Amino acid sequence: MTEPIIIVDNVHKSYLMGKEAVPALRGVSLEIQRGEFVCLMGPSGSGKTTLLNIIGGLDEPSRGHLVVEGENLVALPENQLARLRLEKMGFIFQNYNLLGNFTAQENVEAPMVLARAGRKERKQRARALLEKVGLGDRAHHYPSELSGGQQQRVAIARALANNPPILIADEMTGDLDSETGFAIMELASQLNRDGMTIVFVTHDPRMAAFAQRVVELRDGRILGNAEGTEETRRNTEKAEKEGG
């Protein structure tokens, strides 16, 4: 069996609130294989977003080890960590985080500028990625001229700009209506079928049902791993019954 693309080993994370250290993660261990589609779920305050941010190198553990693509993130200097994030990971956020004074194409080009790709290559790749997410005809529109779903598609294209092997997504459908949310998850599923490793956080069991594996957290600990989507489909049915 090949080495996991992500290894989280006994990770703890605490935040200072005043003079008190408040634990967010309490000894979390998790392995994610290359090409997996993994969902992190749990109630507010469970530690799921903290874990996602640590996996993405956006936050550092208080103690424990984290290996991504064979690199020990805890030991990396900041400049090397920034380079690893740029080359190995794409990030998608709930509020899109697009640059308002950049067009869709310019937003997609931005990570390639940081990676020092040539101008011609940037423009060709950005246009191809916008076509891939169904927005080829919106390349020169600004975020304010796009719907929420279209902005999230631009954000996905931007996350793919440097062809990273890993996609990190935090509530990427949280601000979208159900139909648009399902369309975004279908797009993510296609990216996964194309070989991308995806780790995402959601509070919505309908969106979690797209994952191959659901990792449930509570009070900073992993409660369990549900392999496949059958468990999440049962959760969806339960949520729908409870909702009406």
Does the residue 81 lie in any domain?
yes
Does the residue 36 lie in any domain?
yes
Does the residue 134 lie in any domain?
yes
For the CA atoms of 14, 66, 82, 104, the dihedral, rounded to the nearest 10 degrees, stands at -90
Predicted confidence at residue 226, as pLDDT, reads 62
Phi, psi (deg, nearest 5) at residue 104: -55, -45
> What counts of helices (H) and strands (E) characterise the chain?
8, 10
Continuous H helices in 56-116: 78-88, 104-114
Does the residue 119 lie in any domain?
yes
Question: End-to-end CA distance of the chain, in Å?
Answer: 45
Beta-carbon contacts of residue 160 (< 8 Å; ≥ 6 apart)? 90, 129, 132, 167, 191
Q: For residue 139, give the DSSP letter.
A: T
The pTM of the whole model exceeds 0.85:
yes
Does the residue 215 lie in any domain?
yes
Predicted confidence at residue 175, as pLDDT, reads 86
Does the residue 1 lie in any domain?
no
Question: What CATH number did the domain enclosing 104 receive?
Answer: 3.40.50.300
Instruction: Tally the domains of the chain.
Output: 1
Predicted confidence at residue 133, as pLDDT, reads 94
Does the residue 51 lie in any domain?
yes
Taking the C-alpha atoms of residue 71 and residue 68, their distance in angstroms, rounded to an integer, is 5
Range of the domain at 182: 6-243
Predicted confidence at residue 1, as pLDDT, reads 62
Phi, psi (deg, nearest 5) at residue 34: -60, 130
Taking the C-alpha atoms of residue 26 and residue 210, their distance in angstroms, rounded to an integer, is 27
Predicted confidence at residue 227, as pLDDT, reads 59
Predicted confidence at residue 235, as pLDDT, reads 45
- Residue 149 in tokens: 């779903």
| Closest-CA residue to 30 (of 39, 21, 22) | 39
Predicted confidence at residue 18, as pLDDT, reads 85
Taking the C-alpha atoms of residue 196 and residue 219, their distance in angstroms, rounded to an integer, is 29
Predicted confidence at residue 33, as pLDDT, reads 97
Instruction: From first to last of the 244 residues of the chain, give the pLDDT tens digit.
Output: 689 999 999 999 999 888 898 999 999 999 999 999 999 999 999 999 999 999 999 999 999 999 999 999 999 999 999 999 999 999 999 899 999 999 999 999 999 999 999 999 999 999 999 999 999 999 999 999 999 999 999 999 999 999 999 999 999 998 899 999 999 999 999 999 999 999 999 999 999 999 999 999 999 999 977 655 444 444 444 444 444 4
| Closest-CA residue to 9 (of 27, 33, 29, 32) | 29
Beta-carbon contacts of residue 121 (< 8 Å; ≥ 6 apart)? 112
Does the residue 62 lie in any domain?
yes
Predicted confidence at residue 2, as pLDDT, reads 82
Predicted confidence at residue 162, as pLDDT, reads 95
Predicted confidence at residue 30, as pLDDT, reads 96
Q: Is 141 exposed, middle or buried (0-12, 13-18, 19+ CB in 10 A)?
A: middle
Q: How far is CA 33 from CA 48, 68, 185, in A?
A: 19, 11, 20
Predicted confidence at residue 72, as pLDDT, reads 94
